[in-house]
Each structure stands twice: as structure tokens, then as C-alpha cells.
Chains A and B, each alone.
Chain A
Amino acid sequence: MKIVVTVKLVPDPNAEKRIDPQTKRLVRTGVETMLNPYDEYALEAALQLKEGAGGDTTVTLFTMGPEALKETLRKALAMGADEAFVLSDPALEGSDVSVTSYAMAQALRKLPFDLLIVGGLTDDSSTGAVPGALAEHLGLPCVTNARKAEVTDGRLQVERETDAGYQTVSVPLPALLTTALTFGEPRYASLKGIMGAKKKTIATMSLAELGLDRPVGASGSKTELLTFAPPPARGKGQTIEASDGVSGAQAIFDFLKEKKLV
């Protein structure tokens, strides 16, 4: 079985985030990046499925983004993925979700798979729309928010979270799966994994190989960023030392009353 996992490299929330005032785009290079947290769970799911299936199952990573971020992929390779592909092209800069999902789909057509695992949400853009859009572009059955998954007899069997609880469902392969954070804590890379990752290949794909039939980048996008600003400053509030439970409770109660919250 061939599994492809999409992973996005996103700015570390602890690092200072900058938007280039000229291009109004997130500065993605020269800041600390990490694997999008949801994608770590997607990768964990892939590795668990690989272990379950055994044999010649492989896990391939795919990302679209600046080539400079390639090294962050080593961490994912160290966790146990076999190889990685990076779709990188200056023409993709400024792509919105509709363009991103289109370009990703065109690239994924070049990577044969039985199962495509996508994270649920990115940390930076947070639309959660890419998985559904990929399923449409690629014509795949789409099962989202899995907390358990298993492949038996060419079918993907899933327990998926809903806003009310969970459902069980199965679909034939090839299929697209997204994972919930309840799938299981992503593993740490072992020392052996880290050493091994140095030898794994990270191949670059360019737009020219894909044969696109619509514009990408900012000009092909259907949304335009007009303004961005930090949220209104939230000043440091008051601190009160409570000598006992009653006085602490009274302080909160008085404060809530003043704010008309009780």
C-alpha cells in the first residue's frame, strides 16, 4: 500500500510572526518553522497504518511551500516517513486556498497512492478547506476527522468524530482521510530515525512538470488580503492577592458585577 501524507510547514507560534508590508504576505522564510500540528497527527496515522499493514507499505510526504523550508521536513522523515516531495515555485507565492488546493491536486496526481492522509486544519490559515477541495479535484471518497482507521481487504474502515459524537464508516481505496487530534499522540523521532532521515530523499517538483490549465499565485486567487493588524491591545489587568477563599471569591464577584457579567 502506498500512503501519501500532506504536511505544511508553518511559523512557530513562539517565533515572532511577520507579514511583509509590501506584499501583505506571511514571511515564511527566515523564521522558525515547524510541522503544522494537525499534520503530525496525520503522519502518526500513516505510520500506524504502515505498521499494521506491514509488507511493502510506504509513507510519502508531500508539501507545497518554499524550498528553503525543506529541512523542517527532516523531522517528519525522522519520525518514520520514507521519502518526501516539495512542490516549490515562485509563481505559487500568494496562492489562496482555491489555488493551493488546485496546485496540490495537480502535483498529487503525479504521486500514485492508495491512501491520501491530510491534516484537518492549518495553524496559519486555518480554513480546513484544503482536504475537501482535494477530494473534489481528485474525485476521491473523503472521510474526515478520523480517530481510528484501519485498512482491510482494500477498504478503509474509519471511526470518525462528529460534532455530536462519532460514526463508523468504510470506503473503498483509493480514498482521502483526515485525522482528528484524538487519533493518538504523534511519536517522537528516535535517534536511529534521526540518523536514517539524513539519507532519505527530498525531491523537488516544479510547476512546469504539472501542466496547469489555470493561473496560480496571487493572480489566480479568488481572495485578496486588504489589511492586517494586531488585535486591539489587551492591557495587563489587575492582580489581587487573595488571603483566603472568601476574599478571593468576593474580589472576582465584585469585578464581575462591575462589568455587569453577573
Chain B
Amino acid sequence: MNNVIVYAEHRRGETRKVTFELVSEARKLADALGGKAYAVAVGPGSAQLAEQLKDYPLDAVYLNEDPDVDAFVLDPIVDYLEAAAKLAGPALMLIPNSLAGRDVAGRLLVRLDAGITADVIEFKVEDGAVACVSPKLGGALITTCELRPASYGISTVRPNAFAARPGGSGAELIPLEKPAGKAYAAAVESDVEEGSGELALEEAPVVVAGGRGLGGPEPFETLLKPLARALGGAVGASRAAADAGWVPYNLQIGQTGKTVTPSLYIAVGISGAIQHKVGMRASGTIVAINKDGAAPIAEFSDLLVVGDAFRIVPELTKLIEASKG
């Protein structure tokens, strides 16, 4: 396991920050392991993505514009990643901890007879062994888990945990041959984009989250969105807000929602139940605005301002806008 291979997840050539974080970390790991760093970009748009990956210190990018990758659910991607892994030789596979990433990781685990570590936020390489640091049990424990020596290992990696460091010497582009003799059962009948293409919640450097205290859907638009925009961040929510139908479920943060680790988390009208806490406790700085000074969120906020969100948030947005000049 001395090479490192990144699954460059993308949608028609558009990728997310986590891909650049992974390829940057791949270089570091490959150097420590004495191997090479590769990325695999397949499906329509992969050539466009490969061009962007040239700015990063990879040895090579495997690519194939195969339309089957978009025409069938996941199976072609798994086949291509398996093929690339076998071509490159023993490797650590780095996969984003995203919906598709987790699906792919589970399939590859069996294909490559590999071990897996999940939701990794730090790697340590010593004498050729890879130790992976991950929060577990909703962040109540931080574990270090070693991938036992084997040909292949897999890690799903948390977005926002590693820095993207451009600086490439022009990775070689290697066409990856289409795996032969495959038949795919799960044809995509329709593929619909939802949401407004706003910053992905898990990748946002700042998250402004709202809860039941906001009382309805409008304040998410009129209070939180402008504040998030002023801070260059994204809007999130508690489950109470998602359950009430005020925001879509993909904004929910917590045990049964997303886990986020922004540099700044602002909780507005959120009480801070344990199930919410586990999705945001690892954030850099936590600020809460709550009417109730005794709300549980006081226990794990760096700053709690006791007051009415409807009065404080617009003023805060103004101050931040003004400071930007």
C-alpha cells in the first residue's frame, strides 16, 4: 500500500473543494509512503476536471469520458476505480465522505479485499503504516485506527479537514480503458438537479444555522441567508426546523443529518440538543443567539448572546457588511 489514489467525484466536470483537498493530501501521503499519487476522473466532463487537477501535485490522472458513468447508478464508477487500483498497484484509496463516496467505498472494500477507515480528519504515516484519525459516536470520541498491512486500504475523508494546496508540475493524463464484459442493471431514467447550487453545507467555512426559535420558513430567507452571505457561508438548520418543513432536509445538521466542521458556526434559535450537538461540535468557533441563557447550547458555545434573534441578526449582518466597506 504505497500509492495513493483519489476518487475525483464530479458532476459533468464540476467538482467540489473536497477533491482538491484530497489530491493535496494524496501527494503528502504518497511521499511519506514512497509511492505515487493519482486521481481517477471518469464520465462526461472528466477531461475538463483533469485540466483543473493539473494545478495539483499529482503524478497522473486516469480518465475516461465514458457516458455510461452518468447513464447507470454507480456501477461503472466502481468498475473504473477497481481497474485504476489494479493498474496502479497496491494503494490507499481516498474517497470523499459524501453520499456517492460512501456507496463507492463499500463496494470497493470487497473488490479490493481492503480495510476501511471512515470520516478521516488526519493521517499519520509511520514506517509504512497508515493510521487514521476519525471522530466517532458523534464526536464523543476521537479514534486512531490503523489500516493493517494489505495491498489496498480505503479511507473516506471528511470535507474541510485538509487544506487544498495547489502547485502542480503537470500531472500526466492517462486514458483508462473501459472495463470489459460488464452489464449494468440500474439505468438512470431521469436525473434532476435540486437546490440552488449554493455552497455545499459540509464544505462551507461558515455555517449559520436556524432552529425552532425562528418560528417559520421566512426568517431563514430574510435573516439567515443575508448573514450567511455576508460571512461567505451557508445556511443550516436543526431537525425541528426541517421537520416543520421550513427548510429541506438536506440542510439538517446533527445525528440524523449532516456533520459540519466550519471555522465558525452560528446557532440561531437552536437549543443545542445532544442530537444537534454531535453534528457541529467540532466546529472551530461556536456562537449562539438564544432567548434563553440556560439553553443547553450555552455549555458548548464560545459565545452565547442572550437576546432576540429577530433583533440581533439584522444588526449583525449590517455590521459585517459595513466592515467589508
A240/B116 in contact, CB under 8 A? no
Nearest CB in chain B to that of A132: its residue: B106
The total number of A-B Cβ pairs within 8 Å is 287
Q: Which of A128, A143, A222 contacts B73 (CB 8 A)?
A: A143
B106 touches A169 (CB 8 A): no
Interchain nearest-CB distance for A126 vs B (Å):
6
Q: Which residue of B lies closest to A241 (CB)?
A: B306
Q: What residues on A are CB-neighbors of B74 within 8 Å?
A: 142, 144
Say yes or no for A261: interface residue by CB 8 A criterion.
Answer: yes
Q: Which of B114, B141, B194, B314 contacts A230 (CB 8 A)?
A: B141
Contacts A161-B99, A228-B142, A261-B263; A253 near B319 (Cβ below 8 A): yes
A149 within 8 A of B: no
B31 lies within 8 A of chain A by Cβ: no
* Distance to closest chain B CB from A132 (angstroms): 2
A33 near B: Cβ within 8 Å?
no
- A221 part of interface (Cβ distance < 8 Å): yes
How far apart are A119's CB and chain B's nearest CB, in angstroms? 11
B135 CB within 8 Å of chain A? yes
A124 touching B188 in the complex, CB below 8 Å, given contacts A137-B110, A142-B74, A242-B306: no
User: Which residues of B sit under 8 angstroms from A211, Cβ to Cβ?
Assistant: none
Assembly CA distance A243 to B319 (angstroms): 17
Smallest CB gap from A129: residue in B: B106
Does A167 lie within 8 Å of B99, measured CB to CB?
Answer: no
Instruction: Kindly provide the distance from the CB of B82 to the nearest chain A CB, expressed in whole angstroms.
Output: 10
Bound CA–CA A161/B200 (angstroms)? 15
The residue from A124, A161, A168, A224 contacting B136, defined by CB atoms under 8 A apart: A124
- Please state if B256 and A181 are interface contacts (CB–CB under 8 Å): yes
Docked complex Cα distance between A223 and B116 (Å): 7
Q: Which residues of B contact A172 (CB under 8 A)?
A: 185
Taking chain A's interface residues, is the majority helix, strand, or loop, or is none over half, making it mixed?
mixed
Decide yes or no: A245 and B307 within 8 Å by CB, A127-B156, A129-B116, A236-B299 being known contacts. yes
Chain A residues whose CB sits within 8 angstroms of the CB of B117 once the complex forms: 223
B131 interfacial contact with A, CB 8 Å: yes
B residues within 8 A CB of A255? 287, 302-303
B102 touches A127 (CB 8 A): yes
Q: A128-B118, A142-B107, A181-B256 are in contact. Are A249 and B188 (CB under 8 A)?
A: no
Binary flags per residue of B306-325, CB closer than 8 Å to A gives 1, else 0: 11101111111011100100
B301 touches A248 (CB 8 A): no
Q: Per-residue CB proximity of B3-36 to A under 8 Å, as 1/0?
A: 0000000010000000000000000000000000
Please, what's the 1-or-0 string for B257-297, where 1 marks a CB less than 8 Å from any CB in chain A?
10000011010000000110010011001110100010000
Q: Which residues of A contact B303 (CB under 8 A)?
A: 237-240, 251-252, 255
Residues of A within 8 A of B (CB): 11, 13-14, 17, 19, 26, 37-38, 96-98, 101, 120-121, 123-137, 141-145, 160-172, 181-182, 185, 221-231, 234, 236-246, 248-253, 255-257, 259, 261-262
Point out residues on B near A: beta carbons under 8 Å.
11, 73-74, 98-100, 102-111, 113-119, 131, 135-148, 150, 153-154, 156, 185-195, 200, 206, 231, 243, 249-250, 252, 255-257, 263-264, 266, 274-275, 278, 281-282, 285-287, 289, 293, 298-308, 310-316, 318-320, 323
A-B CB contact pairs (8 Å), 13 listed: A13-B275, A37-B255, A98-B109, A132-B103, A132-B106, A144-B74, A160-B73, A167-B73, A167-B189, A222-B153, A239-B293, A245-B312, A257-B323
